[in-house]
Amino acid sequence: MDGIVVAQINGSVVKAFAILKLFSQERPELTAADVARETGMNAITAHRFLRTLEHVGALVAVTKGIYRLGYVFADLGDRVLRNDALARLLQPFLNRLTEELQEATMATVFRSDMVTCIARATSKRSLSVDIRVGTQLEAYCTAHGKTWLAYMPDHERERYLQSVERVRFTTNTIIDLEALNAELEKVREQRYAINDSEREDGIRAVAVPILTRTGRMIAGISAFGPSSRFTESAMQTALGRLRATAQEVEDSLYGAERRPVGPDVRAKPAPQE
């Protein structure tokens, strides 16, 4: 069976993507000589691949013989993240999490300085917390929001913190800028965020990021419930399941493509608590 699957794979497409993956933030431009050296192709074959990728818009010639990625990938990426494709991908994972934890779960994206729910699953238990698709929440006082802020580039986070009014919703809301920055650094370090009655009294939540292989956050997932039931122990259990689910989601983003060998943005062990 494996032989049949391998026989159906087009080697030229595989080689084309191998070339595309050579581009990075540190190396935004490549030549045929670079490609030949990195892939083992001969110079003529490397040049032909580069010209073909330029022809279809995947690459742009900066000057003769030097290429960068084309913005066709920005268009394709936008299609992936919109048109509810991400929500459809995440919904089955949320359904399973809620069934296992017996607490509500949701997934979010970050839009217009607000956390926006794109998918959710609700618990049938009493005292459940209901968040609807499309609900927008403040970032600085929610588990999802703190995760998004922690994974933002520094300049974007600074702009947000300087421009958004921080209202004290409860006695637990963090509005002091220094304290909030310290909290966000902690979130980045431990790779999860907690909301302990910071936006609404009696509600707790724990959230983790969904990351691309380059470490970019594209979604967040969380579990949440009333503090009377969502205890410290229950939150730790939920955190373990959320982390495992996040890894499954990240793997599913790339379909059947094999995970590359090397450092992983999630390789850091979970803190002992």
Task: Encode pLDDT of 22-67 as tens digits.
Answer: 988 889 999 999 999 999 999 999 999 999 998 888 899 998 899 9
0.75 exceeded by pTM: no
Looking at the fold, whether 185 and 113 belong to one and the same domain comes out as yes
Looking at the fold, whether 123 and 191 belong to one and the same domain comes out as yes
What's 152's domain CATH number?
Answer: 3.30.450.40
Determine, yes or no, domain membership for 261. no
Interacting residues of 61 by C-beta distance below 8 A, sequence separation 6+: 54, 67
Residue type, 251: D
Determine, yes or no, domain membership for 258. no
Number of compact structural domains in the chain: 2
Question: Which residues are bridge partners to 114 per DSSP?
Answer: 111
Determine, yes or no, domain membership for 39. yes
Interacting residues of 191 by C-beta distance below 8 A, sequence separation 6+: 208, 209, 243, 266, 268, 270
Determine, yes or no, domain membership for 262. no
Looking at the fold, whether 55 and 108 belong to one and the same domain comes out as no
* Range(s) of the domain holding residue 89: 81-252
- pLDDT of 72 reads 80
Looking at the fold, whether 12 and 106 belong to one and the same domain comes out as no
Looking at the fold, whether 166 and 245 belong to one and the same domain comes out as yes
Give CA–CA dist 194/102, Å, rounded.
18
- pLDDT of 76 reads 72
- pLDDT of 24 reads 86
Looking at the fold, whether 119 and 209 belong to one and the same domain comes out as yes
Looking at the fold, whether 153 and 234 belong to one and the same domain comes out as yes
- pLDDT of 70 reads 85
Looking at the fold, whether 187 and 218 belong to one and the same domain comes out as yes
Determine, yes or no, domain membership for 62. yes
- pLDDT of 187 reads 97
Residues of the chain with pLDDT under 70: 1-7, 77-83, 126-130, 255-273
Determine, yes or no, domain membership for 263. no
Domain boundary among 70, 100, 115: 70
- pLDDT of 235 reads 95
Looking at the fold, whether 85 and 180 belong to one and the same domain comes out as yes
